[in-house]
Chain A
Amino acid sequence: MSDFLKIQGLQARIDADGTPKDILKGLDLEVPKGEIHAIMGPNGSGKSTLSYVLAGRDDYEVTGGSATFKGQDLLALEPEERAALGLFLAFQSPVELPGVNNANFLRTAVNAVRRARGEAELDAVAFLKAVRAETKHLSMSDDMLKRAVNVGFSGGEKKRNEVLQMRLLQPSFAILDETDSGLDIDALRIVAEGVNSLRSPDFSALVITHHQRLLDYIVPDRVHVMAHGRIIHSGGPDIAKTLEKQGYTQFLEAAA
């Protein structure tokens, strides 16, 4: 299967107080199966918009282009259908769900996805066993399972909770939207390990980040530079180091 994730000429806009604002302006990107790619870019370049559009958030209007995943028209699917197909977005700042028990939420999600994939649902015991294994791995306390989803979680706890969900839902393609922001070095290592442990010929990821730091832990196969709603440069992992030293200016100038 040559086409895994393929984005062509993608354009998207958001309604900003009544006036449409174009954010993605003809973005091209391919992430083959089994590869991890990184997107770096200055604030406002459209990185988070890209992740939301891929995950199916309807605040954004797609005005042109296409995005296919495993040969399917991604943009025609509901968010839950994308999840079932194997797409996972680790949110930059996950929303709080007051009163919704975290363990219950995880189990509901896992079984919804399993159902959609034609797999047997996990009963409470099997699920708990699976979760316990993961939380231990991620150094999460059991307490976090008993609390309401993301309510009162510290920044680090929220990110770990995202990684926990990713591990449990076993996606074939994960988007990590600035998962490193606000993380100390230990938490960063745990998150990175969570992603690396999923690495296989069947798993791909798109790591969106500001900093080269995360890419020391999750070494990408390719790095893309994004600006003004487009990928303006692509290359090997060494680009990240260049960016860290010299900033975006040279790429922006080259693209202009």
Chain B
Amino acid sequence: MPAVTETRETVEKLAKSSYEWGFETDIEMDIAPKGLNEETVRLISERKGEPQWMLDWRLKAFRAWLEMEEPTWAHLHHPPIDYQDAHYFAQPKKKPGPKSLDEVDPELLKTYAKLGIPLHEQALLAGVEGAEERLPVAVDAVFDSVSVATTFRKTLAEAGVIFCPISDAIREYPELVRKYLGTVVPAGDNFFAALNSAVFTDGSFVYIPEGVRCPMELSTYFRINARNTGQFERTLIIAEDRATVSYLEGCTAPQRDENQLHAAVVELIAMEDASIKYSTVQNWYPGDDEGRGGIYNFVTKRGICRGARSKISWTQVETGSAITWKYPSCVLAGEGSVGEFYSVAVTNNHQQADTGTKMIHLAPNTRSTIIAKTISAGHSDSTYRGLVRMQPKARNARNFTQCDSLLIGDQCGAHTVPYIESRNMTARVEHEATTSKISEDQLFYCRSRGLSEEDAVGLIVNGFCREVLKELPMEFAVEAQKLLQISLEGSVG
């Protein structure tokens, strides 16, 4: 697997705690002026060539946002965010169209290489003929808010699958977007979702028609690459009756001093017997050893199991960002539907994470599983915050939750804040949580077998996270394991 080998090689060259993917690409940019007002919203909509209804929707969200306050309940501390001191739109200058290899910016190809996008996928992104047949994974590379290349659209189209930038979808499939956008995360759902609704610039749109099993894993690589550019992705995935899809999202971001705001929204909709698996490896720039810089990541991810026996499964490995505020959730509205949340959150140095899930059981016989592993090192703080709610109609619903925290060093914090609410006597909720440290016995045992202290920590941490990592698609699992170890570098000894 070239991506992995490449990652390893890069990693081995790394100095302690330096950010592997901290680079900037010199590419010509089209940037809107700093600031956020109705004009900004109109500009974004206009540049995207959006229909009036979309602009109206954005403006409504923007006006709602103006009335809202930033949430303060999370276990997070950061200086106030100046929402006017950022660009809300940036895109690479359009060249005549990426139809041939020559027209792909060589800088862009270099970027893909550093990101570890496998070579054959780069070839495909660059439009090399014949590359398509060999590929198991579709890549919709999001480069600074705008998708510059989309692959596989043809192959997927044959299966009836739509996989495209959401801005294309707004133009090409307006009826679908209009029907579903904001139905899971309404524009005024929360402060950051409202902000995203007003100014989102891109993201992915996925539509799997009835009875279709998506022929490949869908994968997206996100990056932030422009100075002071907020990143507002919007992803919408719809799986019709008996449709199945697995979507992979991975993020990296370049190193810089200013804090960068990221407020993505992801909406998933699963109809009868449909299944959506959404996996994330989040590795945004976490800030330096002293906690300077780093991404502020305020994400709203929610899926609804609308149909009977549908299933939504979230898996996340969160190692990056200075601040993570993220609760991928499931609304279980279809009878017998299933929600899952598997999470590993690693914080080191001065990182802060407040992450977890909500499982809202609305219908009978719904089931949910939550497995959350929290690892804190350095001066970091990490919180699991989760809600399990059994509504009156959730007869015989079930939830099982397991939260485990691991502390490495005595300057960090690990917290567990579950909310359990039940309004149905036949529903059953079980929650377990533990907090511990890596035992000296385990470390010594590994070291006496020849492992270095860092390898030993990596091994034990990966063991601690195994239940979650095994949920990841193969190509992510290997990188995720390595990432865990990189994230904890310098945390022991």
**Is A56 an interface residue, CB under 8 A from the partner?**
yes
Chain B, range 446-480, C-beta contacts under 8 Å to A: 446-453, 455, 459-460, 462-467
**Is A79 an interface residue, CB under 8 A from the partner?**
yes
Q: How far is the CB of A185 from chain B (nearest CB, A)?
A: 27
Contacts A59-B440, A79-B444; is A98 near B449 (CB within 8 Å)?
A: no
Q: Which residues of A contact B446 (CB under 8 A)?
A: 97, 105, 109
| B463 x A148 contact (CB < 8 A) | yes
Q: Which residues of A contact B445 (CB under 8 A)?
A: 91, 94-95, 97
**Is A142 an interface residue, CB under 8 A from the partner?**
no
Q: Which residues of B contact A55 (CB under 8 A)?
A: 444, 448
**Is A130 an interface residue, CB under 8 A from the partner?**
no
| B452 x A80 contact (CB < 8 A) | yes
**Is A8 an interface residue, CB under 8 A from the partner?**
no
Q: Which residues of B contact A100 (CB under 8 A)?
A: 459-460, 462-463, 466
CA of A84 to CA of B448 in the docked complex: distance in angstroms?
9
CA of A83 to CA of B455 in the docked complex: distance in angstroms?
14
**Is A82 an interface residue, CB under 8 A from the partner?**
yes
**Is B84 an interface residue, CB under 8 A from the partner?**
no
Q: How far is the CB of A60 from chain B (nearest CB, A)?
A: 11
CB 8 Å contact bits of B423-450 with A (1 = contact, 0 = none): 0000000000000000111101111111
The interface size of chain B toward A, counting residues with CB under 8 Å, comes to 23
CA of A82 to CA of B449 in the docked complex: distance in angstroms?
9
**Is A43 an interface residue, CB under 8 A from the partner?**
no
Q: Which residues of A contact B450 (CB under 8 A)?
A: 80, 83-84, 109, 112-113, 116, 169
| A83 x B449 contact (CB < 8 A) | yes
**Is A89 an interface residue, CB under 8 A from the partner?**
yes
CA of A80 to CA of B453 in the docked complex: distance in angstroms?
8
Q: Which residues of B contact A88 (CB under 8 A)?
A: 448
Q: How far is the CB of A127 from chain B (nearest CB, A)?
A: 14
CB 8 Å contact bits of B181-213 with A (1 = contact, 0 = none): 000000000000000000000000000000000
Contacts A95-B439, A95-B445, A97-B445; is A112 near B463 (CB within 8 Å)?
A: no
Q: How far is the CB of A35 from chain B (nearest CB, A)?
A: 22
| B439 x A99 contact (CB < 8 A) | no
| A99 x B463 contact (CB < 8 A) | yes
Q: Which residues of A contact B465 (CB under 8 A)?
A: 99
**Is A57 an interface residue, CB under 8 A from the partner?**
yes
| B449 x A57 contact (CB < 8 A) | no
Q: How far is the CB of A233 from chain B (nearest CB, A)?
A: 29
Q: Which residues of B contact A3 (CB under 8 A)?
A: none
Q: Which residues of B contact A94 (CB under 8 A)?
A: 445
Q: How far is the CB of A155 from chain B (nearest CB, A)?
A: 17
CA of A101 to CA of B469 in the docked complex: distance in angstroms?
13
Q: List 20 A-B contacts (CB under 8 A).
A: A55-B444, A56-B448, A58-B440, A78-B453, A79-B444, A79-B447, A80-B449, A80-B453, A83-B449, A84-B450, A95-B445, A99-B464, A100-B460, A101-B466, A104-B459, A105-B459, A108-B455, A108-B459, A109-B449, A169-B449
B-to-A contact residues, CB < 8 Å: 439-442, 444-453, 455, 459-460, 462-467
Q: 4 smallest A-B Cβ distances: which pairs?
A: A99-B463, A100-B463, A79-B447, A83-B450
Identify 4 new A-B residue pairs, CB closer than 8 A, beyond the known A100-B463, A104-B459, A149-B463: A80-B451, A112-B449, A112-B451, A116-B450
